[in-house]
Amino acid sequence: MNNQTVMVVYSWTAKEGKAEELKAIYTEVTEQMKTNEPGAMKVQCFFDKSTSRLVVLDVFADAGAVGFHLGTTAGAHFNDLLQIATPGEFLFCGEIPEEMKQAAVGMGLKATFAPRVFGFKRD
């Protein structure tokens, strides 16, 4: 990953009886990102049955790709998700412009923004 890459880790906890609906929405979200968002580099979803919690890892080429996602795929599904699930904290890892931070907070997201400081990657 280069210095522009942004990783977003977040979760949704399904309301009673809504776990399958939550997974179905994220199956659709994942397919739309794969098809329509060239800046979406990776999407991984994990589900904890004991808590009905879906944990999502998104990797974007840069902050612009995150903004595109929030304005398209995420925006189109956000209200439906709020009807069936409770959002957890959203961790934005990478360089995020101030206006994008304000947009995320304006959506009511509990968000943390952490620029990269150090690390390594094996190929």
Class of CATH domain 6-114: alpha beta
Q: What is the pLDDT of residues 26-52, one digit of tens each?
A: 999 999 999 999 999 999 999 999 999
Domain chopping of the chain, boundaries: 6-114
Give the predicted TM-score (pTM) of the model.
0.91
Nearest to 84 by CA among 20, 9, 10: 20
Is residue 86 very low, low, confident or very high in pLDDT (cuts 50, 70, 90)? Answer: very high
Contact 56, 10 (CB under 8 A): yes
For 60, the token pair is 């974007």
Distance separating alpha carbons of residues 95 and 116, to the nearest angstrom: 7
Predicted pLDDT at 3 = 60
Distance separating alpha carbons of residues 46 and 58, to the nearest angstrom: 12
Q: What is the pLDDT of residues 6-29, one digit of tens each?
A: 999 999 999 999 999 999 999 999
For 1, the token pair is 């990953």
